[in-house]
Amino acid sequence: MDSRDKHQTEKNHHLIQAMRHAIDGIIQVLREERNMRYHLLAACLAIIMSAVLHISAMEWLWILLAIFVVFTSEFLNTVTEAVTDLIVDHHYELNVKKAKDVAAGGVLISAIFSVLVGLIIFIPRILSIIR
């Protein structure tokens, strides 16, 4: 029996089992992806600022949307990198570079969106405080 036989290879049979695997994936991304840790720090700062500045419910929705769009794009970028590296066994391939660059571009676009949302919501409140 080789080591692959000890690992799950079929669909999850229970919701709890599926949730455990999902949480394992989240933990793995946080441990292994430096940029995800930066995104998490930025999200925490945005949440703290939102609470301190008493933003409206609609503004909270925009902040949370921005946070989760960035998180989702970073997860998809991580998947793209892992799958393409697996396919080419970590050898250079132009199409793999293209896939990785496009996935990274998606993360950048979502991060820019998040910054713009934060600026639109936070700058007027900050300016009203310092005036």
Average pLDDT over every residue of 26-42: 96
Would you please indicate which residues are annotated as catalytic (active-site) residues?
74
**Residue range 3-14: mean pLDDT, rounded:** 71
Domain ranges of the chain: 34-130
Tell me how far apart the alpha carbons of residues 104 and 106 are, in angstroms, rounded to a whole number.
5
**34-130 CATH fold:** Helix Hairpins (1.10.287)
Rounded distance, CA 68 to CA 77, Å?
14
Tens-place pLDDT, residues 61-115: 999 999 999 999 999 999 999 999 999 998 999 999 999 999 999 999 999 999 9
Length of the chain: 131
C-alpha angle 17/19/21, rounded to 5°? 75
Amino acid identity of residue 42, one-letter, is: A
Structural contact between residues 89 and 104, judged by C-beta atoms closer than 8 angstroms: no
